[in-house]
């Protein structure tokens, strides 16, 4: 790989894709390609093939996906399954058939069984039932992982899958109807602070354990996979450190400066009891995260404050 290689980043405007774009630009990569959904609808196979044939990329990084939290996954199971299958399968198959040298597929830690031993190792894939609240998204991502593995095994393709833990950071989604837990908490505590430190109601019991990774660290892991030929097809990417949702809430509350009460609505689902990634495979190869959780939350909140004009337009 060299700095002039043609690199297509699918989903380049999203939180992860934009972080990858920003990181590669800072490192001196000069031939990055992105396309909006209006320009290239990744759900349409013929459109994707024509686009890949036209741009002739050396690398495709698949950071495109339909994503959301528990509410969104529960409300739109078909869309989460089908749209993610369409996006990734079209990209993977076009890359294979049109001779793209390298493909980096990004998934999620939700691919692992709900009650798998902790921390989650790559070999735990398909060893038990999934968490029901996001199984539709997980099944799609598992299919992508297996497609990349099959191409490595059958055609000796340099296709690799990176499974991040819960990501957060600048350019995150703060829509309370579709966001993940950390950005949703930032918005809730911020708006409660402005509303005379009003009570904040949070879903679940607060007891589940979660791991979080700042998005710039994820981008660094993608660059690591880009610049090295990794020996296996599947790698976990995370901090290797978890905390309870209650501890996360208290940390965010302190950083934002909210002084009101927190009420935990335990009639709402908790999701998986614990989801900690075993990141030893990536550590052994030389990659490790750099941004600690408090620093990452502060950076994310600073970005949130700088973009309130955009964020406030998103309905509660």
Known catalytic residues are 137
164 contacts 120 by C-beta, under 8 angstroms: no
Residue list for the binding site for NADP(+):
11-17, 106-109, 141, 164-167, 180
How many whole angstroms separate alpha carbon 93 and alpha carbon 44?
12
133 contacts 74 by C-beta, under 8 angstroms: yes
How many whole angstroms separate alpha carbon 104 and alpha carbon 127?
24
Residue list for the binding site for substrate:
188, 203, 210, 270
SS (H, E, C) 103-156: EEEECCHHHCCCCCCCCECHHHCCCCCCCHHHHHHHHHHHHHHHHHHHHHHHHC
160 contacts 230 by C-beta, under 8 angstroms: yes
């Amino acid at each position: 790989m060299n700095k002039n290689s043609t690199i297509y980043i699918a989903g380049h405007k999203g939180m992860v894709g934009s972080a990858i774009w920003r990181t590669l630009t800072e490192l001196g990569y000069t031939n990055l390609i992105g396309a909006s959904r209006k320009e290239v609808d990744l759900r349409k196979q013929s459109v994707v093939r024509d686009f890949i044939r036209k741009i002739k990329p050396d690398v495709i990084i698949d950071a495109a996906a339909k994503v959301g939290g528990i509410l969104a996954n529960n409300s739109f199971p078909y869309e989460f399954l089908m749209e993610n299958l369409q996006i990734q399968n079209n990209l993977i198959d076009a890359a294979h058939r049109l001779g793209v040298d390298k493909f980096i597929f990004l998934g999620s830690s939700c691919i692992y069984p709900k009650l798998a031993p902790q921390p989650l190792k790559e070999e735990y894939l398909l060893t038990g039932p999934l968490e029901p609240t996001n199984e539709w998204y997980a099944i799609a991502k598992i299919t992508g992982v297996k497609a990349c593995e099959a191409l490595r095994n059958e055609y000796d393709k340099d296709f690799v899958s990176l499974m991040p833990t819960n990501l957060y950071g600048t350019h995150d989604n703060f829509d309370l109807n579709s966001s993940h837990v950390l950005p949703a908490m930032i918005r809730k505590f911020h708006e409660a602070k402005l509303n005379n430190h009003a009570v904040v109601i949070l879903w679940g019991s607060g007891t589940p354990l979660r791991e979080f990774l700042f998005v710039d660290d994820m981008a660094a892991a993608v660059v690591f996979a880009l610049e090295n030929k990794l020996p296996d097809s599947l790698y976990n990417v995370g901090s290797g450190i978890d905390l309870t949702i209650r501890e996360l809430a208290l940390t965010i509350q302190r950083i934002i400066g909210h002084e009101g009460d927190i009420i935990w609505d335990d009639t709402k689902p908790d999701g998986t009891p614990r989801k900690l990634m075993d990141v030893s495979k990536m550590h052994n190869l030389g990659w490790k995260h750099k941004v600690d959780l408090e620093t990452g939350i502060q950076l994310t909140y600073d970005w949130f404050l700088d973009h309130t004009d955009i964020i406030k337009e998103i309905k509660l």
